[in-house]
């Protein structure tokens, strides 16, 4: 079982969107028993909340289901998760500051050719959940390819 945790700041906009989209692609690929998905925030302000209405709408529009309640990352995640996939450089820096092994940390757009090192802009501030959806979907498709190759799935 490969364990992937998507990480953003609040865990209500980008990372639950990534979790839902990735879960959708994993199921379509018939790999639901091989890959475990979750998401978390580096902050805990929104713990216990459903995804942001903008994220819910972007997912519903595509018929992608979701069932996540926001939570903060824990030290246990740094041991139990194989890949911690940050949405932006600040999330990545926070994970490293909290003690996560750098070898397990990446950024979602690192997997998209030509976009390595780029952030997924935070729609909580930009309001652009559609742009976010397209970036996250591109990242998730590329990440799944990488995981399939790396773990021989
Ligand atoms: P997210 O967006 O990190 O993509 O979930 C945010 C959600 C909430 C806040 C910031 C970003 N906030 O400051 O409450």
Q: What pLDDT, in 10s, does the model give residues 68-88?
A: 999 999 999 999 999 999 999
- Distance, CA of 141 to CA of 16 (rounded, Å): 16
Q: What is the pLDDT of residue 75?
A: 97
- Distance, CA of 46 to CA of 12 (rounded, Å): 7
Let me know the angle formed at the C-alpha of 56 by 11 and 108, rounded to the nearest 5 degrees. 50
Domains and CATH numbers, the chain: 2-150 (3.40.50.2300)
Pocket probe for ligand 1: among 7, 8, 54, the residue whose CB has the most ligand atoms within 8 Å is 8
Mean pLDDT of 57-67: 98
Nearest CA to ligand 1 atom 8: 10
How many percent of the chain have pLDDT more than 90?
Answer: 100
pTM of the predicted protein model: 0.98
All residues at 6 or more sequence positions from 21 whose CB lies less than 8 Å from its CB, including other chains: 59, 64, 133, 136, 137, 140
Pocket (CB within 6 angstroms of ligand 1):
8-14, 45-46, 122, 124
Structural contact between residues 82 and 2, judged by C-beta atoms closer than 8 angstroms:
yes
Pocket probe for ligand 1: among 5, 6, 11, 13, the residue whose CB has the most ligand atoms within 8 Å is 13
């Amino acid at each position: 079982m490969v364990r992937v945790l998507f990480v953003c700041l609040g865990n209500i906009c980008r990372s639950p969107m990534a979790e839902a989209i990735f879960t959708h692609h994993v199921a379509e690929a018939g790999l639901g028993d091989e890959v475990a998905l979750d998401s978390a925030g580096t902050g805990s302000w929104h713990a216990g909340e459903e995804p942001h209405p903008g994220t819910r709408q972007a997912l519903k529009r595509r018929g992608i289901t979701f069932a996540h309640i926001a939570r903060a990352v824990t030290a246990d995640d740094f041991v139990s998760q194989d890949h911690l996939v940050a949405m932006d450089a600040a999330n990545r820096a926070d994970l490293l500051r909290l003690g996560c092994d750098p070898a397990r940390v990446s950024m979602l757009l690192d997997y998209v050719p030509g976009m390595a090192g780029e952030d997924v802009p935070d729609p909580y501030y930009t309001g652009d959940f559609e742009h976010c959806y397209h970036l996250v979907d591109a990242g998730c498709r590329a990440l799944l390819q990488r995981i399939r190759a790396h773990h021989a799935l």
